[in-house]
Amino acid sequence: QVQLVQSGAEVKKPGASVKVSCETSGYTFSNFYMHWVRQAPGQGLEWMGIINPSGGTTNSAQKIKGRVTMTRDTSTRTVYMELNSLTFEDTAVYYCARGGPVSSSLEYWGQGTLVTISS
């Protein structure tokens, strides 16, 4: 079955960077786009970006463009999301989510990774 397993919780200081991983299994890695979505405490869902695991091309939300880098390692079937210049507003649960039957839908989700920005 499809599984997305994310790395563990992180605590970072303002100005630092964080890198979250999402290890996949149960499907052909290169056939499905991977999205990143975050949710601040008590807030709604915010789309962050997308990566094509086949060629590595990415697109990110305008709000965070320039601060986010999405990469993949096809040998380990893992995608990564790195966010730099962290501020308190980046405190959130970060999810990876695989594209679904319609490529723009998000069918399978990781368990989420809590990133806390604290001085």
**Nearest distance from residue 109's CB to other proteins, in Å?**
4
Sign of CA dihedral 106, 97, 79, 119: positive
Residue 91's SS3 state is coil
Beta-ladder partners of 108: 98
Tell me which residue of 34, 42, 38, 98 sits closest to 63, measured CA to CA: 38
Residues in touch with other proteins (CB under 8 A): 35, 37, 44-47, 49-50, 59-62, 95, 97, 100-102, 104-107, 109-112
d(CA 67, CA 17): 9
Name the residue nearer to other proteins (CB basis): 16 or 47.
Answer: 47
- If the CB atoms of residues 14 and 40 are measured against other proteins, the closer one turns out to be 40
**CB-wise, 49 or 86, nearer to other proteins?**
49
Shortest approach of other proteins to residue 46 CB, angstroms?
A: 7
Nearest-approach distance from CB 73 to other proteins, in angstroms: 23
